[in-house]
Structure 1
């Protein structure tokens, strides 16, 4: 008796499977076509967006968004072919409720996605810009890409940091390279001796700074020196100079180090009582 019932149930399911088999085949074919079309169209649209847009970050974000939207449409078509129109109708009719439930259950994911949309259109940074979050040196690097959930930056020591978009949007963001110019600075403490001249030592330091090929010397971006303090014959000078911010590491960190060493060596050769302290 039990085996008869089991046989009858198996036959029923097998009959239903044979009935759905053609629809499954069509649905699978539609799914494959949907994936193919989504990849092709997103690549085509993405290529045009990249070609016409001056912001590759926004173009890449919109390309991914279009691809996922096309895949969702293809999935809904597959469900309709399988006769699950009620499921599709329920998905559409319950979109508001679903959004509420998903938003509550996956609050962080939804928040980061919406933050990514805002960042893509607001554009506080571009690809390869050097940024810093929350005035934290550990969260400083070059922007590599903006994803649907995270912003990827690469630090100067080669680490990749995936920052949640909500964090990037919510916290203070410093963009070091957007303007195209940046003004680094350093201090020089030098003993000019009893017969020394402040103007003379500033002139010698300025000659070293202006001789550097990466230092910009134009009307709106000229290097200059200020006197911070004077204690006896020891002067503490503050040196400011402008350079291109396109490559932050080269334009600021390496150039600043080279200038500091060059200034110290030059003042030492000029015969000052003791080597200058540069910081």
Structure 2
């Protein structure tokens, strides 16, 4: 009986070997098809550039089109290769086979599919394009690339953060460079004996003298509050929306306000400390020490 089992096994292995040898030409053709598919897929970017490169399409949306074209090319190539090896294979049978394991695959790759779908939606929406400076959940920087699974955010200190797309899609994202300009502000304090109307005029004139300030959008000078040692003005102006533009314009404004207040003889106070004692404190004189 043992010899019969071994013989049967040998016959099966021999049959499988013969079948494999018989199908070698089909495998070779399928391999050639996959190789050609790989070559065409590499040109997916060029295909998208030829079709949409001369339009006003956003870079993130163009990336999505390139990816979809590449994926469609691979799906078509794999299907052709599969039908060469298995002639009885049809689109209906493929869909039926995918349907059997769709639930299990969905649970196993839930995070991947979530990021994939979020990536598609991020690429489609108009806001937050490549090059924008954003902040989300404590992560801030310039959007360097948007892929189907993650987004690369380059910090202003040059480190790169790889952010899952689902995080950017489900949480509020602050886009600093959505417009070319934004409003900046700084607080300037003057002493209590200062004529506030005169101080406001001096500060406004100083801010208007800065070439990095967009005076066409207006300058706001508001008396803000009574501070411990000063009356504070809230100074607001418009300048570029990038972080560097904000730093440069703020540097100019602070320097100009300080110079103008000094020239006008207006004091910029520092905190004063007054000590009050319940009992008189005797003060020793130089003669007592002698």
Q: TM-score w.r.t. structure 2 length?
A: 0.81
- Give the aligned length: 268
- 8 Å Cα contact 2:116-2:149 kept in structure 1: yes
User: What's the offset of the Cα at 1:60?
Assistant: 0.9
Which consecutive residues of structure 2, in runs of 5 or more, have no partner in the other structure? 272-290
- 8 Å Cα contact 2:189-2:268 kept in structure 1: no
When structure 1 is superposed on structure 2, of 17-26 and 252-261 the one drifting more is 252-261
2:258 alignment counterpart: 264
CA separation in 1, counterparts of 2:261 and 2:88? 83
- Deviation digits for residues 134-183 of structure 1 (CA, Å, limit 9, x no counterpart): xx4x3111111211111221111112112211111111111111122210
Which of 44, 54, 57 is matched with 1:54 structurally?
Answer: 57
CA separation in 2, counterparts of 1:45 and 1:232? 63
Does 1:226 pair with 2:222? yes
User: What's the offset of the Cα at 1:90?
Assistant: 3.3
Which consecutive residues of structure 1, in runs of 5 or more, have no partner in the other structure? none
Change (3 A) 1:239 1:85: farther
CA separation in 2, counterparts of 1:62 and 1:252? 35
- 8 Å Cα contact 1:79-1:88 kept in structure 2: no
Which of 249, 252, 266 is matched with 1:255 structurally?
Answer: 249
CA separation in 2, counterparts of 1:97 and 1:188? 69
Which of 30, 33, 39 is matched with 2:33 structurally?
Answer: 30
- 8 Å Cα contact 2:220-2:235 kept in structure 1: yes
CA separation in 1, counterparts of 2:250 and 2:268? 22
Aligned 1:151-170 pairs, distance under 5 A: 151-170=151-170
**Residue 53 of structure 2: SS of its match in structure 1?**
helix
CA separation in 2, counterparts of 1:45 and 1:173? 29
User: What's the offset of the Cα at 1:217?
Assistant: 1.2
User: What's the offset of the Cα at 1:276?
Assistant: 7.0
Aligned 1:1-279 pairs, distance under 5 A: 11-83=14-86, 85-86=88-89, 89-133=92-136, 136=137, 138-191=138-191, 194=193, 196-218=194-216, 221-230=217-226, 234-245=230-241, 248-274=242-268
**Residue 54 of structure 2: SS of its match in structure 1?**
helix
- Deviation digits for residues 181-222 of structure 1 (CA, Å, limit 9, x no counterpart): 21011111122x63x32222222222332222221111xx11
Change (3 A) 1:244 1:97: farther
Change (3 A) 1:268 1:47: farther
- 8 Å Cα contact 1:181-1:244 kept in structure 2: yes
Change (3 A) 1:170 1:206: same
User: What's the offset of the Cα at 1:88?
Assistant: 5.9
CA separation in 2, counterparts of 1:10 and 1:232? 94
